Amino acid sequence: MLWQGRRESDNVEDERGSGGGGRIVMGGGIGTVILVVLYLLLGGNPQALFNSQDSAQLPQQHGQYQNQAPRDEASKFVAVVLADTEDAWHSIFQQMGREYQEPRLVLFTDLTQSGCGFARGATGPFYCPEDQRVYIDLGFFRLLQQRLGAGGDFAEAYVIAHEVGHHVQNLLGITDRMQAARGRVSEAEYNRLSVKLELQADFLAGVWARYADRVKHVVEAGDIEEAMRAASAVGDDRLQSRSRGYVVPDSFTHGTSEQRLRWFRRGYETGDLRQGDTFNAAEL
């Protein structure tokens, strides 16, 4: 993938080396004062901050670690890919007559607190709809390369694009419909819905890959195969057959390698959101 020297997204929050739990310690007293000042400096509405002050899981608190760590190659790469997803989805949403709201992306090591609860690096990358953030421990990319045999920059880009795909589903109201189904349907049925959600995120990653290829011209020979290898390497069946230090959240509900590959490819080949309705597809 051609990525050096290209636009980096401003939406990356680098928490690596901050110890993760730091935000909880900062939750009261002088920490709160600093937080409020920072928040105001960043142009925030103070009312919004105080309205949610009762919660220790303030999404606003993320900002304080932003750009603290020196920008290394890995975080630059993530920021470039995130910027590519922003451009792609702004354009696609515009075509639908809608406005795309960019997600934030948190880089962390080992442990962090998200709007969806605590996350360990061991849970793998995930998207939290509550705070509209993608969480990535870069250690997962090493795992992808060393243990799953699916390394390479475009493989990593696919993982980011998949998580951003979950954000797109959130903006389109699909995540809400899933949440509403929870508790109303049997666990088996809910798992089936989860697979459809995951395969659709793969489809959306494919739509992004097409944009990166056809509009940005940043896809190099072998890149698409790299992403497909990654999609296939993180299928439930593959993951379950390995002893591993990491699990993908809901790892039992992501679909098989073959399914993930197929939906990614369909997104890449069509670039047409109407082709990605995994919920009503005759065959997954």
Q: Which residues bind Zn ion (CB under 5 A)?
A: 198, 201
Cβ proximity to Zn ion, 198 vs 223, nearer residue: 198
Task: In angstroms, give the least distance from the CB of 48 to Zn ion.
Answer: 29
Q: Which is nearer to Zn ion, 159 or 212 (CB)?
A: 159
Q: How far apart are CA 121 and CA 111, in angstroms?
A: 6
Buried b (16+ CB within 10 A) or exposed e, 235-255: bbebbeeeeeebebebbebbb
Within a 10 A sphere around the Cβ of 34, how many other Cβ atoms? 12
Q: What gap in Å lies between CA 213 and CA 219, rounded to an integer?
A: 5
Q: How many CB atoms lie within 10 A of CB 116?
A: 16
If 0-12 CB within 10 Å is exposed, 13-18 middle and 19+ buried, where does residue 81 land?
A: buried
> How many of the other CB atoms lie within 10 Å of CB of 136?
24
Shortest distance in whole angstroms from residue 51 CB to Zn ion: 31
Q: How far is the CB of 201 from Zn ion (least distance, A)?
A: 5
Q: How far is the CB of 154 from Zn ion (least distance, A)?
A: 18
Residue 243 CB, nearest approach to Zn ion (Å): 22
Nearer to Zn ion, 16 or 196 (CB): 196
Q: For residues 108 and 127, which CB has a smaller minimum distance to Zn ion in the complex?
A: 127
For Zn ion, the closer of residues 18 and 175 by Cβ is 175
